[in-house]
Structure 1
């Protein structure tokens, strides 16, 4: 992920390690993590599985560092952190660090986090032989990240589960609500079609209904409320129209309550209606700096509609490590 978080100084290795899970959105395991620094500021954070072929890991991380460097400031140095049992994680992390160094990236630190300890992989005497004790929850960086509203899920699988569909009675109730919403939409279009203007009147009513539904949903979410099944189903049906989707897109940015709204609807949405909702969740998560959740949402959107353009645009932005801050606010109309 790229980072657009508040600025504060990290001066200790323990604080750096305590902050990494909040940069990624989850606590990594069996991973190699790279932090790209623009001067002394973290510009990008990315991870790869320890078991992934090393040439592939190096190519992917290099591509992300290069892409991040095209933003506001070039990446001038990197920090590598391995997560997993020594010696396997140590060997992979050293190898990736050496490969990035050979590609011209100045490697400032190479650390290994294993269990409740960490150690330096660049020298033998700057951390104890058995590693320095480490409790990520007690670091100042973790406390500051929590204060700023950043969340670190227990693991990556937990992030993926956040976007999984509801089941049981909740899913049945939502399916019934979608049926009612589709009948309501058909009636709206049919009634408008009786006017002299015919198709144009139906189209205008559809656009107007979509705008009202989007704005009502955002108003409820901003007030801390949750859409009932009928309101949620009506919105998801209308979001299939690109003009309605675009209206929601223009009104969605980085507010936590917006993230809650689109996450809730992604979990409750009917599979056939999911691509717009999950794409809006991905947009909000990406703009908020939560690349892992954005990626999970994009995958759900593309599962619903493999050709959905907005999901592909966001997938490309994530793959290329495009900084969220590189996209300005929508122009005021």
Structure 2
């Protein structure tokens, strides 16, 4: 992940180690982590599995360090931290440190976090032979992270679980709410268009979803079609804008959308204009993250690409690259061709700093 957080000064190795899980979004294990520094400020934090081939690990981490340097100040030095009690953790961390040093990155620290102790891997005198005691929960870094509202999940799998769909009765209730939302959308668009007039024999959900997926006029060479279609489009967009604004107001006030409100919003967000309205009003606010995370968990799979992409955007802007990646995967599972998800996936792969965009929306 790339970082755009307030500046704090860490003078102890323990504080730096205590902050790493909050930079990543989870407590790493069997990993090698690199912190890229620009003028002694952490510019990027990246992790690789210990079991990954070392040349591949070095290439990936080097690429991320280079990409992060393009977004702000160049990354000129690094700190390496290995995680794991196995001697392999120390060997891999030293090897990666040497390879990055050979590529021109000054290696400031090479540490090993094993259990409740940490070791310096650059000298024998920096830490005791058995390692220095370490409790991350008591560090100044933990207090700072809590103040910033950062959360470190127990492990990477826990981050993936955050975006898993709900099940049981809650999922059944949401499916029923989506049925009602599709009926409501069909009525909004008009009986003739949605196929829901007397004797149609159905609620028009498929036709209503197709209408919601129509691109805006700016995305089409021929515009929005005839007068009747234009009127339906206008009703659709107005309903979407209103639903987005109401959802954001509810979330900012600490509330949670009920099933019908959530289903209605997810159906409307299939329209790119409604999605873009939500996108332009979503940045890095914690309550926005809560909203899109909740809707990603509750959304029907085939309606999920817009919502999960908005979660990925919010997580990325917040500096939570791991959660952003998990959300992107959910979005692409729902719609492998979804453009916004692919754009965010590329930003994550290239370690583009969230701050490189500046204020959002861009004027």
TM-score w.r.t. length of structure 2: 0.90
TM-superposition CA deviations, 1:60-104 (whole Å, max 9, x none)? 000000000101100010000000014110000000001101111
Q: 1:160 aligns to what?
A: 160
Instruction: Supply the distance in 2 between the matched residues of 1:118 and 1:258 (Cα, whole angstroms).
Output: 37
Instruction: Supply the distance in 2 between the matched residues of 1:211 and 1:231 (Cα, whole angstroms).
Output: 13
Q: 1:138 aligns to what?
A: 138
SS of structure 1 residue aligned to 2:227? coil
Task: Determine if the alignment matches structure 1 residue 98 to structure 2 residue 128.
Answer: no
- Select the residue among 210, 230, 234 that pairs with 2:260: 230
Q: 2:175 aligns to what?
A: 175
1:328 deviates by 2.1
Q: 2:308 aligns to what?
A: 278
Tell whether the 8 Å contact from 1:192 to 1:202 is kept in structure 2 after alignment.
Answer: no
The 1:246/1:40 distance shift into structure 2, 3 A limit, reads: same
Instruction: Supply the distance in 2 between the matched residues of 1:28 and 1:332 (Cα, whole angstroms).
Output: 35
SS of structure 2 residue aligned to 1:286? helix
Tell whether the 8 Å contact from 2:178 to 2:267 is kept in structure 1 after alignment.
Answer: yes
Tell whether the 8 Å contact from 1:54 to 1:92 is kept in structure 2 after alignment.
Answer: yes
The 1:229/1:132 distance shift into structure 2, 3 A limit, reads: same
Q: 2:222 aligns to what?
A: none
SS of structure 1 residue aligned to 2:302? helix
Q: 1:316 aligns to what?
A: 346
Instruction: Supply the distance in 2 between the matched residues of 1:190 and 1:6 (Cα, whole angstroms).
Output: 51
Tell whether the 8 Å contact from 1:192 to 1:198 is kept in structure 2 after alignment.
Answer: no
SS of structure 1 residue aligned to 2:190? helix
Instruction: Supply the distance in 2 between the matched residues of 1:245 and 1:280 (Cα, whole angstroms).
Output: 8
Task: Determine if the alignment matches structure 1 residue 249 to structure 2 residue 279.
Answer: yes
Q: 2:4 aligns to what?
A: 4
Instruction: Supply the distance in 1 between the matched residues of 2:359 and 2:238 (Cα, whole angstroms).
Output: 23
The 1:331/1:286 distance shift into structure 2, 3 A limit, reads: closer
1:25-174 pair list within 5 angstroms: 25-174=25-174
Tell whether the 8 Å contact from 1:193 to 1:201 is kept in structure 2 after alignment.
Answer: no
Instruction: Supply the distance in 1 between the matched residues of 2:240 and 2:271 (Cα, whole angstroms).
Output: 8
Instruction: Supply the distance in 1 between the matched residues of 2:319 and 2:193 (Cα, whole angstroms).
Output: 44
SS of structure 2 residue aligned to 1:45? strand
In structure 1, the gaps of 5 or more residues are: none
Q: 1:14 aligns to what?
A: 14
Q: Figure out how many residues of one structure are paired with residues of the other and give that number.
A: 332
Instruction: Supply the distance in 2 between the matched residues of 1:332 and 1:319 (Cα, whole angstroms).
Output: 22
- Select the residue among 326, 330, 334 that pairs with 1:296: 326
- Select the residue among 320, 328, 332 that pairs with 2:358: 328
In structure 2, the gaps of 5 or more residues are: 195-225
TM-score w.r.t. length of structure 1: 0.98
Instruction: Supply the distance in 2 between the matched residues of 1:255 and 1:294 (Cα, whole angstroms).
Output: 14
Instruction: Supply the distance in 2 between the matched residues of 1:192 and 1:264 (Cα, whole angstroms).
Output: 35
SS of structure 2 residue aligned to 1:198? helix
SS of structure 2 residue aligned to 1:4? coil
Instruction: Supply the distance in 1 between the matched residues of 2:264 and 2:355 (Cα, whole angstroms).
Output: 32
SS of structure 2 residue aligned to 1:297? helix
Instruction: Supply the distance in 2 between the matched residues of 1:143 and 1:315 (Cα, whole angstroms).
Output: 31
Q: 2:237 aligns to what?
A: 207
Instruction: Supply the distance in 1 between the matched residues of 2:354 and 2:59 (Cα, whole angstroms).
Output: 22
Instruction: Supply the distance in 2 between the matched residues of 1:192 and 1:104 (Cα, whole angstroms).
Output: 67
Please provide the CA RMSD for this pair.
Answer: 1.4
Instruction: Supply the distance in 1 between the matched residues of 2:311 and 2:34 (Cα, whole angstroms).
Output: 26
SS of structure 2 residue aligned to 1:78? strand
